[in-house]
Amino acid sequence: MFGKKPQIIKLNQEFCHADLNDNQVMFVRVSDQIVDKHAYVEPHDGYSVYIIKGGSDIRFYKEGKDPIRIFDDKSEIKAWKQGFSVDVIYMAGTNPPINWGTQNKITYRDPNSNRAIEVGASGSLEDFSITNPQQFFKKVIGVRKELSVKEFGNRFRAVIIDDFADCFLKAVEKLNLTYDQFDRYRKEIAKEIWAELGPYLDNTWGCTFQRFIISAFAITESDKNAVDEALAETKKQQKIKEDLAELERLDDKQWEREKYLRKLEQEDKAAYYEVLKRVGHPNGGDKNQKTTRCPHCGHDLTDTDTFCPLCGRRASKDTIVCPHCGKDNDSSASFCSTCGNKLK
């Protein structure tokens, strides 16, 4: 006669609402009464195992192929009584990535423009592992019969999103990044964030993910344009400040001042008129008003100036009437073209 087969506890599809083979099951609980001191748990491919004996003795076994005896020493066999309860938690060793995304935008102030913009982010958590089985059992499993990856992801995602904003702002400040550098430095930002979030989750949940990924940042075009416009205005004001400082430095060098202003007018008319306005020049701020200048040195002239007060040369474009013969001569003439007398 053959001996009696030992009691076997194993995971069947009947214990789980989801398909055990679709990679969407986080864990499944199998409860039973032990009627055989030689009873054992049959491993399931790809699953680690929790064995809870008598409702309090919790033991964790990593994924393997060898049967796991319920009673693994003589003292337990001796203390065993008929009807002893046992729960076996089959814990999936691998899970699909958990996708996450910020539900509310993060308010970020660009350091260069001092402009506040709204930033969203999304990504995934990959390569899950249990680091503290006791803590994970207490935090996640408890008395649940079953947990899907989706349900676990919802819980875990909420923790990430709650703390993501503060960690993100600390990371970009530490890395000294502006909004247009976020995408380029996604990996560096993710590393800084996970350096803070990872240990927290390890300590409180007893598990971790080997990869925390930021896939993309979301910033509206209107916010990007607002930052760019603010930066342009900041640069403009800085340039005007530099131009005014240079004019002040050249205060006693009129020719150098005029030369600098002419160059500024050629390069940036808007800045030129703004500088004139700041220094109180009569043409300052009026971009349509024409400035009268000496044709020889470029010095600004008033309407009554006939000769340039800077170089002394005739500046008026009006014709010169010869006092001797009455002939009209060109404004640049020094002698009359008819009688040859010197013009005054």
pLDDT (tens digit per residue) in 72-105: 778 777 777 766 889 999 998 877 888 999 888 9
CB count, 10 Å around CB of 74? 8
Rounded mean pLDDT of 170-186?
93
pLDDT in tens, 132-158: 999 999 999 999 999 988 888 888 888
Query: For residues 211 and 192, what is the distance between their CA atoms, to the nearest angstrom?
Result: 12
- Does this model's pTM top 0.85? My answer is no
* Segments making up each domain of the chain, as ranges: 8-92, 98-219, 229-291, 292-344
Q: Are 119 and 105 in contact (CB under 8 A)?
A: yes
Query: For residues 71 and 24, what is the distance between their CA atoms, to the nearest angstrom?
Result: 31
Rounded mean pLDDT of 159-179?
91
CATH fold for the domain made of 98-219: Tetrahydropterin Synthase; Chain A (3.30.479)
The pLDDT of residue 287 is: 47
Segment holding 254, helix H or strand E: helix 254-267
- For 74-83, 159-168, 190-199, 323-332, which range has the lowest pLDDT when averaged over its residues? 74-83
Instruction: Indicate the pLDDT class of residue 289, thresholds 50, 70 and 90.
Output: very low
Percent of the chain with pLDDT over 70: 86
Instruction: Look at residue 331 and give its three-state secondary structure.
Output: coil
Output the average pLDDT for the chain: 82
The pLDDT of residue 227 is: 85
Q: Are 100 and 124 in contact (CB under 8 A)?
A: yes
Query: For residues 98 and 96, what is the distance between their CA atoms, to the nearest angstrom?
Result: 7
Instruction: Indicate the pLDDT class of residue 196, thresholds 50, 70 and 90.
Output: very high
Segment holding 227, helix H or strand E: helix 221-249
Rounded mean pLDDT of 189-210?
93
Q: Are 336 and 327 in contact (CB under 8 A)?
A: yes
Query: For residues 285 and 273, what is the distance between their CA atoms, to the nearest angstrom?
Result: 5
Structural tokens at position 288:
């349509």
